[in-house]
Structure 1
């Protein structure tokens, strides 16, 4: 069978540890036998990021702006332990944070529904998509250790006009302080991405923050969302029978636990980070969740929502067998291929992405799965497969469909 041809390359961002091992297996077994795969490759492994002073991350993000679609492997965000382990020059920032700031997008994460893996929240009948703002807050913060008594102030020095000062705290003992920021333009892009996603997927949009406590910072989000909705989206939402509403984050959590799902839950950066992990685990597994960054400028970056599976990687290095779930990484590839196909008008490439996803789900539904799923499935007598054997089992299912 002739390989499916591509017109425009994907930006391919390789990653770290066990997900890097799976990345290679997926390409060799599930992609390259069927597609004349065209990618512009960037190695975002931690060692190479350190060697390039993290320039490779910036280059990969700019390539995404140029080519429009990227697929990214999970990467390490180093802490002090990782700096020592990898002998790094410095504690590099999150590559995801760097990429998201350059692309100016919103991260949408949706559970992958598969028979035999049931949500622990029994009322959930439809997937809930988390829309996470991808700029600012604690991910672009500035922090300081306060050694002893003294005043800490927030100071704004305008290019023209009078300086403004606000007392943060008058310390009489040691402590810590943190400064965060956000931008109106980024919040506006966030709002437009969320409302556009809701319209495209015919889903209600919820937005939640804590404006009762954060009366300026969070209230600015609330105001901008309402202004943009009223001016640009309200008529289309009502025409399609869709709703938008704002509520407090604690109220949203309570409502969601009793809902049927099927909507977009829009969150600020940190809230979205935490709540997407809660949702993925409650729906089944961190490895059963899609993740795509959508920029209002027309850029798309697909990735797995989980980390590099460090514990399995150390076992892999010892020569021990692992059973690591590759579904989210496979769906990152299929999402990117489908979007590339849509933009380039390649129906056969889009059909291939659909077939690979169906083959992946069919493999699990046949009882063949990785260890994390055998512990939660309701299917009788599940067969636990190793990392590589699971991918090869998907290859068998895919061959039937091709």
Structure 2
């Protein structure tokens, strides 16, 4: 069988642990037999990033900007335990955080629905797309553990030397301090990405922040979103029959539990990190969610939104074949290939990506699945397979 041609490569960002293992299997069984796969490969495994002092991560981000499409495997963000385990030189930064900053992008995540996996939130009939701001906040913070009593201040020194100074707290003993920031330009990009995505998908946008408490920081998100909507998008939204809706994040969470779905929920960085996991878990599994980072200038990075599945990896090292769900990683590849085909004018590549997605969901809906889904399936699963056998079943269906 002649393989489908790719005109241009995509940036391939390899990762860590169990997802790295399955990354290679997916390429071998589901992609390379059908597509003349063209990629620029970057090893973003933890040791590789540490050895290069994160130069490999920045090079990968530049490749995505140059090629306009990237696909990323899940990666480890190190902590003290990982420093010892991998014999690292230092605590490494989040590679996702670096790439998001370099691309100035917004992350859009949506659950993957299958007919035989019932959503825990019974009112959700349509996917909830979560738009996550991908810059600043706690992911680019500055922290201090203070040893004792003293005065904690927030200080801004302008280029001309003038200062703005505020007292955070008169510390009466040991404690902790954290400084976070954001940029108007990044929030503006976030707003435009969300509104453009919503117009493309014909869905309404919700934004929730805590501006009643964080009047300046969270209030800035509210103000910028409203200004951009009123000046650039209101007429387009009216014509499309969709709306932009702002409320407190508390109210958003309460409303979302009773909503039917089919909306874009715009969240600040940390809120989006947490809420996307909530939506994915309620819809079946963290491995049943698509995730794409979209930059304002038209660059796309597709990834699995879950972690590296550490516990399964340790079992794999002992010789076990685990039932790790590879669906989100498969859909990261299909998203990237479809976008490459769209940008390059190769509809056969787009068609292949859609067929691979359909084959994956057909296998599950016919009753063959991994263990995480089998616990939720209704009717009960007919076959519970390890990851390798599950990928083989998808390959057979695809052929």
TM-score class normalised by the smaller sequence: over 0.9
Alpha-carbon separation, structure 2, partners of 1:380 and 1:217: 48
Alpha-carbon separation, structure 1, partners of 2:382 and 2:104: 42
- TM-score if structure 2 supplies the norm length? 0.99
Offset of 1:164 from its aligned partner?
A: 1.2
Alpha-carbon separation, structure 1, partners of 2:164 and 2:329: 48
Work out whether residues 341 and 349 of structure 2, in 8 Å CA contact, stay in contact via their aligned partners in 1.
yes
Correspondence for 1:302: 302
1:73 counterpart = 2:73: yes
Correspondence for 1:189: 189
Alpha-carbon separation, structure 2, partners of 1:281 and 1:149: 43
Correspondence for 2:46: 46
- Change in Cα spacing, 1:47 to 1:228, as seen in structure 2 (3 Å) is same
SS in 1 for 2:252: helix
Correspondence for 2:360: 360
Spell out, residue by residue over 1:220-239, the C-alpha distance to the aligned partner (whole angstroms, 9 max, x if none): 01000000000110000000
Alpha-carbon separation, structure 1, partners of 2:212 and 2:244: 19
Alpha-carbon separation, structure 2, partners of 1:54 and 1:157: 30
Alpha-carbon separation, structure 2, partners of 1:14 and 1:164: 44
Offset of 1:381 from its aligned partner?
A: 4.1
Correspondence for 1:253: 253
Q: CA RMSD in A?
A: 0.6
Alpha-carbon separation, structure 2, partners of 1:282 and 1:308: 20
**Structural mapping, 1:3-402, within 5 Å:** 3-160=3-160, 162-399=162-399
Work out whether residues 280 and 289 of structure 2, in 8 Å CA contact, stay in contact via their aligned partners in 1.
yes
- TM-score if structure 1 supplies the norm length? 0.99
Alpha-carbon separation, structure 2, partners of 1:196 and 1:161: 40
Alpha-carbon separation, structure 2, partners of 1:52 and 1:241: 50
SS in 2 for 1:77: coil
Alpha-carbon separation, structure 1, partners of 2:123 and 2:156: 48
SS in 2 for 1:359: helix
* Bigger mean CA deviation after superposition, 195-204 or 155-164: 155-164
Alpha-carbon separation, structure 2, partners of 1:355 and 1:321: 27
Work out whether residues 374 and 380 of structure 2, in 8 Å CA contact, stay in contact via their aligned partners in 1.
no
Spell out, residue by residue over 1:116-161, the C-alpha distance to the aligned partner (whole angstroms, 9 max, x if none): 0111111110000000000000000000011011101011111126
